[in-house]
Amino acid sequence: MHFGGSLDAQSCYLVERSLKTIVLRVKQQNANALALAKFLERESKIGGVYYPGLKNHPGHAIAKKQMPGGFGGMLSLK
């Protein structure tokens, strides 16, 4: 029987080690994305910034309810 892929011992060690700091890394990722989105929003050469953490984003109210810990690290530009 085959139950899918499995990781080698080194990969398991690295995954387990990185899980210890994931909360800190995700918080910083959220903060960096929001700061970058706010900065790019003020730039005249950028046509628009799509990030749910910005108050002018059409889905901001919903995102605020669904993502109380932060708005993620992805944003897109126009």
For the entire predicted model, the pTM comes to 0.78
Rounded Cα distance, 75 and 36, in Å: 9
Average pLDDT over residues 1-15: 85
Q: 19-77, pLDDT tens digit by residue?
A: 999 999 999 999 999 999 999 999 999 999 999 999 999 999 999 999 988 999 999 99
Provide the pLDDT confidence category of residue 5 given band limits of 50, 70 and 90: confident
Structure-block tokens of residue 21:
């700091």
What structural domains does the chain harbor?
Answer: 9-77 (3.90.1150.10)
Confidence of residue 4 (pLDDT cuts 50, 70, 90): confident
